[in-house]
């Protein structure tokens, strides 16, 4: 059995070196023909008979993995592992890998870009102009802002580093870290929310962190960014906080349900992007190559 399935939606589109590596090893490759996130029936269809899987964000639960007879390795092309039932994979003897380094800079750069877009009202001003309005919206400087980063792993730290030249004051909240890290001051989440002008989320799991209570605890007029997992922000509470004026604006790249079609689309103080955090060509190429190398390592090929 020498079949490898790849379920990400655009694998090899910008560089074929990862695919070439698989072919050099004499492996048969089955690609995702749909150009989108797969449902269970399609996963079984594409991955049937495969000994290795380069996975995207599709759900790989126990039942799905049990149906994939002969599967030995899952290599996530990305950082998040919440779509993979790791306990089930361990029970079934399936090795699981991810690529935590590839998307780090891409997500951190997009965070800063969205932060600037949000507080300078770039997207809203551009939409005004397209609609025939010459309105000069007043924005704010990033320089000197108090920025609270929730989740201080690779991406959180990289984001903090990129923000340093702007003269921002930066604190972080992360329950897995204690004391100051790399010259940045740690704080409890409650303290950080009340202190920060801008709160940027970079956590690794999908559990809700910011609900109505937490948003009301944020400084009036603050901005919120979610670049981590859709489930960490209560979108209904966010809509309410933005509509009431308690929060000045928000930028989101991830949503509880994707594709997103909810009411936040109607607000002009919100910047929305369709989960493109890692969608920089250089980052995608590195992630794909790292994912294939992990796969081959797991297979012992």
Give the separation between CA 62 and CA 88, rounded to whole angstroms: 5
Ranges assigned E (strand) in the chain: 3-6, 28-31, 52-55, 73-76, 95-97, 146-150, 169-173, 185-186, 198-201, 222-226, 247-252, 270-272
Percent of the chain scored above 90 by pLDDT?
A: 92
- Bridge partners of residue 272, in order along the sequence: 252
Residue 192 CA to chain centroid, in angstroms?
22
Taking the whole predicted model, whether its pTM rises above 0.75 is answered as yes
Question: Which pLDDT score is estimated for 204?
Answer: 87
Architecture of the domain spanning 3-102+280-299:
3-Layer(aba) Sandwich (3.40)
* Cβ(249)–Cβ(226) below 8 Å: no
Opening angle at CA 77, ends 73 and 83, nearest 5? 75
pLDDT in tens, 2-56: 999 999 988 999 999 999 999 999 999 999 999 999 999 999 999 999 999 999 9
Give the separation between CA 266 and CA 273, rounded to whole angstroms: 14
**Mean pLDDT computed over every residue of the chain:** 96
Question: Which pLDDT score is estimated for 182?
Answer: 86
Could you check whether 3-102+280-299 and 104-272 share the same CATH topology?
yes
Catalytically active residues are 229, 258, 275
Top CATH class of 104-272 equals alpha beta
pLDDT band at 256 (very low <50, low <70, confident <90, very high): very high
Question: Which pLDDT score is estimated for 180?
Answer: 86
Task: Calculate mean pLDDT across residues 269-287.
Answer: 95
pLDDT in tens, 157-183: 999 999 999 999 999 999 999 888 989
Question: Which pLDDT score is estimated for 199?
Answer: 98
**pLDDT over 60 (residue 263):** yes
Question: Which pLDDT score is estimated for 1?
Answer: 57
Q: Which of 68-72, 116-120, 205-209 has the lowest mean pLDDT?
A: 205-209
Sketch the domain layout of the chain as residue ranges.
3-102+280-299, 104-272
Percent of the chain scored above 70 by pLDDT?
A: 100
């Amino acid at each position: 059995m020498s079949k490898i399935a790849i379920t990400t939606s655009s694998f090899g589109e910008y560089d074929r070196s990862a695919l070439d590596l698989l072919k050099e090893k004499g492996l048969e490759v089955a690609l995702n023909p749909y150009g989108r996130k797969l449902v269970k029936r399609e996963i079984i269809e594409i991955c049937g008979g495969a000994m290795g899987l380069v996975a995207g964000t599709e759900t790989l639960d126990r039942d799905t993995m049990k149906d994939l007879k002969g599967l030995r390795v899952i290599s996530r092309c990305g950082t998040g592992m919440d779509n993979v039932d790791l306990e089930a994979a361990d029970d079934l003897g399936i090795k699981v890998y991810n690529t935590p380094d590839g998307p780090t800079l891409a997500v951190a750069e997009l965070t800063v870009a969205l932060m600037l877009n949000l507080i300078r009202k770039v997207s809203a001003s551009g939409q005004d102009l397209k609609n025939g309005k010459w309105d000069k919206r007043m924005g704010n400087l990033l320089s000197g802002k108090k920025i609270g980063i929730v989740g201080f792993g690779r991406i959180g730290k990289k984001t903090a580093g990129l923000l340093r030249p702007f003269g921002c004051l930066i604190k972080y909240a992360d329950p897995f870290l204690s004391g100051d890290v790399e010259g940045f001051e740690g704080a409890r989440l409650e303290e950080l929310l009340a202190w920060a002008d801008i709160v940027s989320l970079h956590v690794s799991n999908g559990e809700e962190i910011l609900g109505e209570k937490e948003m009301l605890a944020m400084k009036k007029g603050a901005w919120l960014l979610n670049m981590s997992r859709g489930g960490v922000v209560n979108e209904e509470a966010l809509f309410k906080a933005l509509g009431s004026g308690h929060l000045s604006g928000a930028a989101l790249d991830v949503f509880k349900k994707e594709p997103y079609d909810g009411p936040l689309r109607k607000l002009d103080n919100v910047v929305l992007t369709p989960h493109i955090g890692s969608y920089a060509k250089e980052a995608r190429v590195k992630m794909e190559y790292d994912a294939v190398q992990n796969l081959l390592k797991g297979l012992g090929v």
